[in-house]
Structure 1
Amino acid sequence: MSFNVSRETEQRLQLYEALIRRWNPRINLVAPSTLPDLRQRHIEDCLQIARHVTPDDGLWVDLGSGGGLPGLILAIAFADRPTRFLMVESDQRKAAFLRSAIRELDLPRSSVLSSRIEAADPLKAAYISARALAPLARLMPYLGKHLADDGQAWLMKGERWQTELDEARQAWRFALESHDSITQPGAAILKISEVSHV
């Protein structure tokens, strides 16, 4: 299963894959056991978001970017859009990887904020993404703080997403659209908007 992308996007994705393989022995960007299937497990997985949204200009914030999943993948997929991408990553070594990758991938509208998410000033993001970061109930305060009033969050969640949803709804109100994951049975991509505290 792979998504059709332009030749330029494909070249960047291949370079990104090479960068992960080069850095991963020194910094654990992805689980070493997933490296043989890096394209499917990580890159194609993250590209799914690009099937559901086409950003306008404005700021796209990727929370807890780690090795750039999904933030850098989306910045590559939307490199021809006016959208600015900000990767929020508190781990200094991972932030260094992200900055190096942004340079090598030639993504001038992307940057890195090396900060804890809760310590950052409100970012008023038009879009927020996160993958394998925290349970939904722990993510909601971040969305409440950093999402613009008319913004939307795109969260990649595993098989327990329904349970996480029930827990999050105890303290938060939000609009929800769910999309089944194509790469991981039982997983989902959640679009969350209109976030407010109960």
Structure 2
Amino acid sequence: MTEEDARDWLNAALDVPRGTLDRIKAFLTLLKEEGSRQNLISASTLDHVWARHVVDSAQLIPLAEERSGDWLDLGSGAGFPGLIIGALTQRQVTLVESRRKRCAFLEAAIETLGVGDRVSLRSARVETLPSTAFSVISARAFAPLDRLLDVAQRFSTAETLWLLPKGRNAPNELDAARTSWQGDFRIAPSITDPDSAILILSDVRRRR
């Protein structure tokens, strides 16, 4: 997917208003400027941020359209996918990030995007957060699936939808997790990268 393809997809699939696109552009400028101070995204993706990061995040939105309620994004890092979800929808989104410099960046990004009314940041390790159920949980490059479920299952119910962007190792992660976990698990292709996939989980529970 080219950068032009990415912007075309946003318009066709989500009908993103021009003002929102302008705020995302400002966020991406902030992201690139911050790159001189900390490694937020791979340098090889700087020229492909709309496809590799914005649309890669935004493609989760149609997958969750039947699930209303609050969204939890774990290991938010540079803000993908959580900040993009907050920018493109009216959902209440909670970002979780433990690294201090990343949190400072995310606070500035929330202000730049103008989403402070619906996006909140928890500067803490996932393990220290109180157990609260969310409608949707996302995590990008946070941890292998079995480890992620181990630390985050307490934020879910049988109705929670998990949307987890993964690389080419997605099938292996799913197989490994199935030894300890059960539920409705499937894999969807990523629209941005033929080598990537999205793990879609619901009714997640530990095997007895």
TM-score by length of 1: 0.92
Choose from 31, 52, 58 the match for 1:20.
31
Q: How much identity, in percent, do the aligned residues show?
A: 36
How far the C-alpha of 1:56 sits from its partner, in A, is 5.7
Determine the structure 1 residue equivalent to 2:149.
Answer: 140
Determine the structure 2 residue equivalent to 1:59.
Answer: 70
Q: How many residues align?
A: 195
TM-score by length of 2: 0.88
Q: CA separation in 1, counterparts of 2:159 and 2:19? A: 31
Q: List runs of 5+ in structure 2 lacking aligned partners.
A: none
Q: Is the 1:143–1:153 Cα contact (8 Å) retained in structure 2?
A: no
Determine the structure 2 residue equivalent to 1:110.
Answer: 119
Determine the structure 2 residue equivalent to 1:98.
Answer: 106
Q: Is the 2:157–2:203 Cα contact (8 Å) retained in structure 1?
A: no
Determine the structure 1 residue equivalent to 2:94.
Answer: 86
How far the C-alpha of 1:144 sits from its partner, in A, is 1.2
Q: Which amino acid letter does the alignment assign opposite residue 142 of structure 1? A: V
Q: CA separation in 1, counterparts of 2:121 and 2:35? A: 19
Q: Is the 2:64–2:136 Cα contact (8 Å) retained in structure 1?
A: no
**What is the root-mean-square deviation in Å for CA atoms of aligned residues?**
1.5
How far the C-alpha of 1:152 sits from its partner, in A, is 0.8
Q: Is the 2:161–2:200 Cα contact (8 Å) retained in structure 1?
A: yes
1:32-71 deviations in Å (ceiling 9; x for gaps) = 2221222221112111112322266532110000010111
Determine whether 1:35 maps to 2:25.
Answer: no
Q: CA separation in 2, counterparts of 1:169 and 1:163? A: 10
Determine the structure 2 residue equivalent to 1:6.
Answer: 17
Q: List runs of 5+ in structure 1 lacking aligned partners.
A: none
Q: Is the 1:181–1:187 Cα contact (8 Å) retained in structure 2?
A: yes
SS in structure 2 of the partner of residue 195 of structure 1: strand
1:133-190 deviations in Å (ceiling 9; x for gaps) = 1111111113311123321111001111111111000000121232211111131112
Q: CA separation in 2, counterparts of 1:91 and 1:98? A: 11
Task: Out of 37-46 and 127-136, give the one that drifted further.
Answer: 37-46
Q: Which amino acid letter does the alignment assign opposite residue 154 of structure 1? A: L
Q: CA separation in 1, counterparts of 2:206 and 2:36? A: 42
Determine the structure 2 residue equivalent to 1:121.
Answer: 130
